Amino acid sequence: AVVLNFWATWCAPCVKEMPTLDALQAQFGDKGIQVLAISQDREGALVAKPFKDKNGWNSLALYTEAAGKFQRDADLNGLPTTIILNKAGQEVGRVEGEVNWTSPEVEQKLLAIAQIAMMRQGRFADIDSQHTGTRIIKHKDGHLIGATRAIRMPRRWPGSGPIRCSD
């Protein structure tokens, strides 16, 4: 499962939930759950990286997308918003607002999604792979190029772009 989180340094609920996303990645990153936290700060890594470092979120890589195109293409209504993708790149869940990602209920649901994917593929989720012709997230030269969602409102995200990895 991919936990795709959109956040910003100026968003109080985002800042409150980030330690739980960091803990989720630390605890379950090797169990088929990958957390991608994408900063929507207009200043990009210039603001987000020092903020991330100051707060000690060491398990999360820093991704930024200052233009907000990916946010618009994903039909986000506000921050924080988290989209859960299964191994096939389908949106299987969406949460608008703050979540405690280390609560037992949330962890159980995420692990169930990851286990289904692992059983079908015989291995852990890999966000950089292509599955049945559908790319979850294409990683090239440190840029995330796009994603596909299929459950709630079937359509392709047109690639937006570029989301930069700053770590």
Give dist(CA 44, CA 134) in Å, integer.
Answer: 28
Better pLDDT: 109 or 133 = 109
| DSSP secondary structure letters along 20-71 | HHHHHHHHHGGGT-EEEEEE--TTTHHHHHHHHHHHT--SSPPEE-TT-HHH
Q: Which of 30, 158, 39, 20 is nearest to 101 (CA)?
A: 20
User: Alpha-carbon torsion 146, 51, 33, 94, what sign?
Assistant: negative
pLDDT bin (cut points 50, 70, 90) of residue 154 is: very low
Express each pLDDT in 79-123 by its tens digit.
Answer: 999 999 887 788 888 899 999 999 998 888 888 877 765 555 543
Q: What is the mean pLDDT of the chain?
A: 75
Q: Say whether pLDDT at 163 is over 70.
A: no
